[in-house]
A and B are shown apart, each in its own frame.
Chain A
Amino acid sequence: DGGITQSPKYLFRKEGQNVTLSCEQNLNHDAMYWYRQDPGQGLRLIYYSQIVNDFQKGDIAEGYSVSREKKESFPLTVTSAQKNPTAFYLCASARQDSNEQFFGPGTRLTVL
C-alpha cells in the first residue's frame, strides 16, 4: 500500500534528551513537510524539503533539525533546545506539481 508512515505513535522522553521522529513515504513524492499541532492552534510548519539533500526552515524551526538523505525519508530531531517539545507532530508529502498534501498518522511526543 502506498502511504506515509510515522513511528512511533507515542513517544516519551526525559527533558534534555534529543529525540528523532521517523517519517517514511513510498508515494514517490519529492516534497515532504513536518508540522507541529498544539491544542487550540492550527498546524505550524517546522521544516520542509522539496528535493533530496535540501531543506528549508518553516515558521517554527528553532530547536529542531532535519535531514533528507533519501527521497523516502525525512526524519525530524527534536533537540534539547526546543523549549516546549510536548506536542503532536505530523509529517506530510506532496508531488511537486500538486497542491495536495498527504499526511501521516502523527507522533505524539511527551517530554517528562
Chain B
Amino acid sequence: KNEVEQSPQNLTAQEGEFITINCSYSVGISALHWLQQHPGGGIVSLFMLSSGKKKHGRLIATINIQEKHSSLHITASHPRDSAVYICAVRGGGATNKLIFGTGTLLAVQP
C-alpha cells in the first residue's frame, strides 16, 4: 500500500461542475502539498497546508490531520483546469523530502 493514496485516478467532468479530488496518507506529516502538472510535464505548486483550509481563486484545499485526509476542490471547472493533480506529503526531519501520490488525471470537457 502506498503511503499517499489519491482518488479518483481519472476524472472527467463537464465545464462548470464542482470537482473534488481526495488524498489520504498513512504517515505523520508536517505539511501537505497539492501540485498541478500540465501536459508537457512542468509542475506548479497550488497549495501547501498543515491545517485547516486554503482558497485561491476557484481552488480550495482542506486538510484533516486527525483523519489523515485532504481534499482539493475546483469550483466552476473550466477546460483549462485539465491537468494531473498530485498530492505530496512532507514527513518529519530536516531534509524537506516529499512523498508523492500517483496523481489524478482531470479532463474538463466544454
Interface residues of A (CB under 8 A from B): 31, 35, 37, 40-45, 48, 50, 56, 58, 88, 90, 94, 96, 98-106, 108
Task: Decide yes or no whether B7 CB sits under 8 A from chain A.
Answer: no
B40 in the interface (beta carbon within 8 A):
yes
Chain A residue at smallest Cβ distance from B35: A103
A101 to B48 Cα, complex, angstroms: 10
Q: Does B75 contact A (CB under 8 A)?
A: no
Smallest Cβ-Cβ distance to A89: which chain B residue: B41
- Residue from B33, B100, B101 within 8 A of A100 (CB atoms): B33
Evaluate contact between B102 and A41: CB separation under 8 angstroms. Answer: yes
Q: How many residues of B contact A (CB 8 A)?
A: 25
What number of A-B contacts does a CB cutoff of 8 Å give?
60
Kindly report which residue of chain A lies nearest to residue B9, judged by CB atoms.
A40
Known: A45-B97, A98-B96, A105-B40. 7 other contacts (CB 8 A): A37-B41, A42-B103, A90-B41, A94-B96, A99-B31, A99-B96, A100-B45
Q: Which residue of A lies closest to B84 (CB)?
A: A37
Cross-chain contact B102 with A42 (CB below 8 angstroms) = yes
B4 at the interface (CB under 8 A from A): yes
Q: Taking the nearest CB of chain B, how far is it from the CB of A12, in angstroms?
A: 16
Which B residues are closer than 8 A to A by beta carbons? 2, 4, 30-31, 33, 35, 40-45, 48, 86, 88, 90, 95-103
A96 — which chain B residues lie within 8 A by C-beta? 96
* Residue pair B95, A50 in contact (C-beta under 8 Å): yes
Contacting pair B100 A106 (CB below 8 A)? no
Tell me the nearest residue of chain B to A95, going by C-beta: B96
Complex CA gap A69/B35 in Å reads 29
Flag if B43 contacts A90 (CB, 8 Å).
Answer: yes
User: Is the CB–CB distance between A105 and B98 below 8 Å?
Assistant: no
Interface contact B41-A43, CB-CB below 8 Å = no
* Closest Cβ–Cβ distance, residue A42 to chain B (whole Å): 3
> For the complex, what is the distance from the CA of A95 to the CA of B99, rounded to whole Å?
18
- A40 near B97 with CB under 8 A, answer no
Measured CB to CB, the closest approach of chain B to A34, in angstroms, equals 12
A2 to chain B, nearest CB (A): 14
Instruction: Collect the chain A residues with CB atoms within 8 Å of residue B100's CB.
Output: 35, 42-44
